[in-house]
Chains A and B, each alone.
Chain A
Amino acid sequence: MSPDTPLAPDAAALPAADESPGTPPAATVTIEDAGAPSVLDDESPRTPQSPAEIFRVFTRLALQGFGGVLPIVQHELVERERWLTREQFLELLAVSQVLPGPNVVNLSLMFGDRAFGWRGGLAALGGMLLAPLGVVLALTVAYAHCAQQPVVAGVLRGMGAVAAGLIMGTGIKLLPALRKNVLGPVLAFTFAALMFACIALLRIPLAWMLGGLGAVACTLAWRRLAP
């Protein structure tokens, strides 16, 4: 795991708004007749041939994803396999950020589903999760065998401190994105600080916070978005 996941704050800033709302994102199979020029229009996108191929490609890209799978997904699907144009990729990403669940997992699922229905979705999901799961469990079991050794425990504590720092750093890097939030910088930073105080310091359950503070924030945003 890593602080790779693009988080919701970026969603509103994605250049998705310039696409006409009425056009559903073209499925990979219909891009040729969509007629719209794309960044890669000189190289027409290809389509995956079978769920098995999707499984293979997603396994390959998941195993490369040290400290962040999303950049690899973009590279493999858009640049290497050319299964998606850059626009289609952003489109999928924006949708996967709105929905609950890990973004990369949502994105894989939607990609596979568009190509081959639920079999494709399952193939993408399985490719993304199964092989890395094997690796991570092997590491866990190996750790369990030598956890009593002071050096091993020390190494893990050091790695844990870095893991915490990486996530903290990701949060800090996201802060400037709040300045562009429709709520305005003061309100947006206040909400972020309140959330930190209630969750990290007071340990209030997340459901209460989303139901309370979340509802207030979304209502305010709704009002400010008035046409």
Chain B
Amino acid sequence: MTPAVVAAPAGSDWGGVFAQFLLLSLLSIGGAISTVPEMHRYLVDQHHWLSNDQFSAMVAIAQAAPGPNLLFVAVLGWGIGGAVGMLVTMIGILLPSTTLTLAAARWGETRRHTRGVQAFVTGLAPLTVGLVLSSGFLLGKPAYGNPWLLATMAATVALCVRWKISPLWLIAAGGLVGGLVT
């Protein structure tokens, strides 16, 4: 979706993007979803490289495809700068966390039973939940002006909280509603 970009980062900005994603990698405790608010703040609010609509559409595309949810980072990178953007964001988001994981795994997993690690994990748990809710709220932005989309989002929340339905069906239903009424 490169053509739809409002203003792509200039050459000198790629260093900044790379640094931002390196930092995000280290902050992504609790999974890739917890970095959505920060990416939204950086790409949409701060730099205006993507609109709310584009940001949500890109995450939706990644969600409709198979594979780990981390891949929305690749789609966002592709969106702001094609193949270069994808490499910058993906290497940025993967490099620190994979290095750290390998080092920590070899250093000894037994330490996760220690008081320090337990305090770290349980202390961050409430913040992680707050981050996941924030991600949902921010991705829903394009829906808030449209009663049909808002109803679709609310129905999704209700359905997936109460029953185990494959997300694929819900996304297909959402696409149908979106195609018919918006």
Binding site for B on A (CB under 8 A): 1-9, 11-12, 16-17, 21-25, 62-69, 91, 94-106, 109-110, 113-114, 118, 121, 125, 128-129, 131-133, 135-137, 139-140, 143-144, 147, 151-175, 177-178, 181-183, 187-196, 199-200, 203, 205-207, 209-210, 213-214, 217-222, 225-227
Contacts and interface: CB of A to CB of B under 8 A. Distances in A.
Contacts of A183: 122-123, 126
B6 interface: no
Interface residues of B, number: 115
Contact of B57 (A6, A157, A219): A157
Given A157-B143, A159-B174, A8 B53 contact: no
Nearest to B26: A100
A202 to B, nearest CB: 10
A100 B182 CA distance: 39
A172 to B, nearest CB: 5
Interface of B: 1-4, 23-38, 41, 45, 53, 56-72, 74-75, 78-79, 86, 94, 96-98, 100-102, 104-106, 108-110, 112-113, 115-140, 142-143, 146, 149-150, 152-157, 159-161, 166-168, 170-171, 173-182
Contacts of A17: 113
A46 B121 CA distance: 32
B167 A2 contact: yes
Contact of B62 (A136, A153, A157, A172): A136
A177 B75 contact: no
